[in-house]
Structure formats: structure tokens, C-alpha cells
Amino acid sequence: MPPTVTPAATYSDTHHAVSRLVLFTLCACVMAAQSMVAAVNLAIPKLAASTLQPTAEQQLWIVDAYVIVFAALLIPAGALGDRYGRRGALLSGLGLFSVGAITSALAPHAAVLIAGRALSGAGAALIMPATMSILVQLSGTPQARAKALAAWTLSVGLGGALGNIGSGLLQQYLPWQALFWAIAPITAALTVLVWRVTPRTPRRAASPDPIGTVLLTAGSTAILYGIIEGPGDGWTAPAVLAGFATGALLLAAMVIHSRRVPHPLVDPGLFRSHTLRVALLGTAASFFGLFALFFVNAQYLQIVKGFSAAPAGLAVLPVTVGMILVPRLAVRIEARIGPRLPAAGGLAVLGISLLVLATASAATPYPVYALYLLVLSAGFGLCAPVLTGGVVTGLPREQSGLGAGLNTAAREFGAALGVAVIGVALGAHAGHRLDAVAFTDGMGRGLGLIGAVVLLAAAVVAIGLRPSRTHGSAGHHQPRATGTQPPAAPTP
């Protein structure tokens, strides 16, 4: 029986090794947080018919409140963990996540349910960067770090897929509240595991930046509002345009502020790293395509193929196969020949798969459709861990929480934009009709456009990761010199 790590364990006690139990615990936290991004989609029909009687706008906010708060707080939450303790941030996130789920389950009306979803989103924003940054801190070699990040990336993909599967099964047989009640025992068990086995890691010695935090959070929220509301209200609607304009002004103000303070929340100089920029673009593009598919997949299976909720949830299982099997191959390929082939090649496979999925119709046999999903998942599994590693290696190790926040924020912004674009396509071609022909027409045009964009991103990543471009630019950015700036952590 392996020895138990006490709650007082520290980074030095682990000898820079990631034990299987720690890896399992952190990845389980990731899956729990990611599962709730889309799991509520399958509960909307029951919610609409429940005593809550949410309006159409409230139904949208039940889905979107989690995403907006989650994405807007990721970068500040990652930096918070770097400065005040990643383990503490993770435990706080699990607590908030659980409180939000219980609030949602007990909601007497829609407004309380929306507030509960927002609370869970805030918890998830603390969970995601803390888990990745702890893994980076505990990985003593680049090879160990690559394997740990591959497991983390796998957990993100599996979380989305398992959320759909679990929600489908729960909604088939139980009330809508069961989705939220199921979270409570899961988070309780994870909290105990994190407390018992996850060691503390070194903190970054830096003063807080409350002004930068407020500007970044408010700016991100405003832009996400525009992205999410654009498909329904129209991209030229005053509220949508105001969201984009306000977000741009607030983020510009944050950049100006960050250049004037010694310890900014996000140093704009970090983005001089070419590897970081390319990896963030590729990460956003991969989730742009993946979540556009997730948005239409269940609807296609139910509206076009006639599946009920539980079979529709199970029918997404082929997406998990490539996510499970391919990341380890991606790590080995990167170790032998570098990141260019798995990153750009995986994105290309993802884009081509979306173009093929755009041809699906009522006449497409499910086994053929499942094969399309399998190939798409292989492309995602090939590129995702390499792109995640690119973000992490583009920052000093002491800022791994910030890097994790940037990485996950790129994922969530890409996912929100993918859902928005496919939503516009469906609205333009299907409107409020739910017949199979109109839906497949809108889905085909939307996935075709999104697949083309992902292919374009693959080309940009391939050019950006050429050895001549990455040589000498993949190293860590050094923080700006100030009288009180701590020395940069040594590169792993």
C-alpha cells in the first residue's frame, strides 16, 4: 500500500514527481469542471417544462452564465493561484463549484438557477488553472511535463463528452435537478482527495494587481456577452456592439495600466513569445471547431436521427476514443521531431473532419457518422496536448497558473465563438423550424465554414512553428526589470 501524503506535504516532499494518485485527482477535478459547460444543454427541455417556467432568454442564460463567468475569471484565477497558493485556489474552487450546483438544484425560480450556474462557473475558473499549474510545478523534466499535460488535455475533452453522456442518462430517467445534485458527492470526494494527496507548490512573490484584475474581468465579460448574444440579437444590435466596444476599451485600458505598474496581472511583454501566440491561436481554433460540433451533435442525433436523450448522449462516445488514445502518440512525436507536425497536422485533421461532418444528413448511417467523430477526435487528441505545452513553455515556470489561465481562456473564447457561429448558421437556415431538412442544411453550412477556418488556423500554426521561426523564440519571456522584481524562475 503506498504511503499517504499528509495535508502538510509540500513541493519539496514530492521530489518533483507526479504520483498516479495526484494525477488522477487533478484530472478528475478537470473533468468535473469541464463536464458542466455543456451538460445542461440536454436538461433544457425538462427545465422549460418545469415549474420554473424559464423564458427563452432565461434558458439561454442558464446555459451561458456558467461559460461567461468561467471564461472571464480564468486568467485572474490563475494568477491568484500563483501568488497565494495553487492548492488553496483549487480547494476554494471545488467549494464554490459545489455551492453553485446545490444552489441550482434548490432553485425556486430561474433567476436563482442562473446565479447558481454563475457560482459554479467561478469555481471552475479556480479549478482549471490550478490543476494545470500544479502539474507543471510537480513535473521535474520536460518529458514528465508533456505526459502530465497530455493527461490534463485528455481530461478536458473527456469532461465535455462525459458531461453529455451523464446528462443524457440523468435526463432520460430523473428530474432535471439530478444533474446538479450529482455534483455534490463528486466534489466532496474530490475535496478530500485534494486535501490529502496534493502537495503545496512554491508561490510567486508579487504584489496583487486589483485594478488589472477588474479591467481584465470586466473586459472579458463584455466581449463574451457580445459573442454569446450576437447570434440571437443580431451582430449589429446596440447591446451587442456596446459589449464589444466596452470590452475593447477595458482591455486597452488594462494594457496601458499593465505597462505602468511593477507587478501587473498580465505583463503585455509576455506576448512577445512567438510560441505562446501561435499556441494560443491553435488552442482557440481547436475548441472553436470541437464545441461547434458539440452544440449541433445532440440536436442532429435527436432531430434528424430520432434518438432519445440517453442514446444521444451515448452516441458521442466515439469522440472520446481519439482523445484517450492519441495524446500519448502526440507526446512521442513531439519529443522526436518537434511540435509542428502534431500541432498543425492535428488541426488539419480536425478541420477536414468538420468538412466531412458537414455532409451528414438523415440518410447518413450512424456507424458512418461515428467514424467521422472518431477521426475528428484523433485530430483533436493529436494537436491539443502539444498546443497546451506551447502555452506553458512560453511563460516562466513560476507563472504556470497564469499560463494555465491563458490556455483555458483561449479554449473557452474559442468554444464560445464556435457555438455563436454555428448558432448563426442554424438560425439563418433553420430559423425556428425543427424539421430534419432545415436543420441539416444549417448544420452543413455552419460546419463547412468552421472547418475551413480551422484549416486556415492549421496553416498559420504550421508556418508559425517552422524551426527557423521557433528557434530562439520558444524560451521564456523575462519579466520587466524593476527595483522589486523577483528573479525569473529557472527553466525546467
For the stretch 291-317, pLDDT in tens is 889 888 878 888 888 887 778 777 878
Rounded Cα distance between 166 and 236, Å, is 38
Q: Of 171, 142, 75, 181, whose CA–CA distance to 406 is shortest?
A: 75
Q: What is the mean pLDDT of residues 45-54?
A: 81
- Decide if pLDDT at 470 tops 50: no
Q: Cell numbers of 102, please?
A: 446545490
Yes or no: say if 101 and 184 are a contact pair by the CB < 8 Å rule: yes
Helix (H, G, I), strand (E, B) or coil at 486: coil
Rounded Cα distance between 443 and 296, Å, is 7
Q: Of 441, 316, 415, whose CA–CA distance to 373 is shortest?
A: 316
Helix (H, G, I), strand (E, B) or coil at 162: helix
Rounded Cα distance between 9 and 243, Å, is 45
Instruction: Please state, for a pLDDT cut of 70, what percent of the chain lies above it.
Output: 87
Tell how many helices (H) and how many strands (E) occur in the chain: 18, 0
Buried b (16+ CB within 10 A) or exposed e, 323-358: beebbbbbbebbeeebbbbbbbbbbbbbbbbbbbbb
- Of 1.20.1250.20, 3.40.50.880, 1.20.1260.10, 1.20.120.420, the CATH number of 273-473 is 1.20.1250.20
Q: Which residue has the cell 450546483?
A: 101
Rounded Cα distance between 420 and 7, Å, is 43
Q: Which fold has domain 17-199?
A: Growth Hormone; Chain: A; (1.20.1250)
- Decide if pLDDT at 4 tops 70: no
Q: Cell numbers of 157, please?
A: 475533452
Helix (H, G, I), strand (E, B) or coil at 204: coil
Do you know the residue count of the chain?
492
Q: Which of 35-44, 211-220, 357-366, 415-424 has the highest mean pLDDT?
A: 357-366
- Decide if pLDDT at 97 tops 80: yes
Q: Cell numbers of 113, please?
A: 438557477
- Decide if pLDDT at 42 tops 80: no
What is the pTM assigned to this prediction? Answer: 0.78
End-to-end alpha carbon distance in the chain: 31
- Decide if pLDDT at 14 tops 60: no
- Decide if pLDDT at 180 tops 70: yes
Q: Cell numbers of 264, please?
A: 501587473
- Decide if pLDDT at 281 tops 80: yes
Rounded Cα distance between 235 and 308, Å, is 33
Rounded Cα distance between 332 and 403, Å, is 23
Provide the 10 A C-beta neighbour count for residue 395.
23
- Can you say whether the dihedral through the CA atoms of 125, 127, 129, 130 is positive or negative? positive
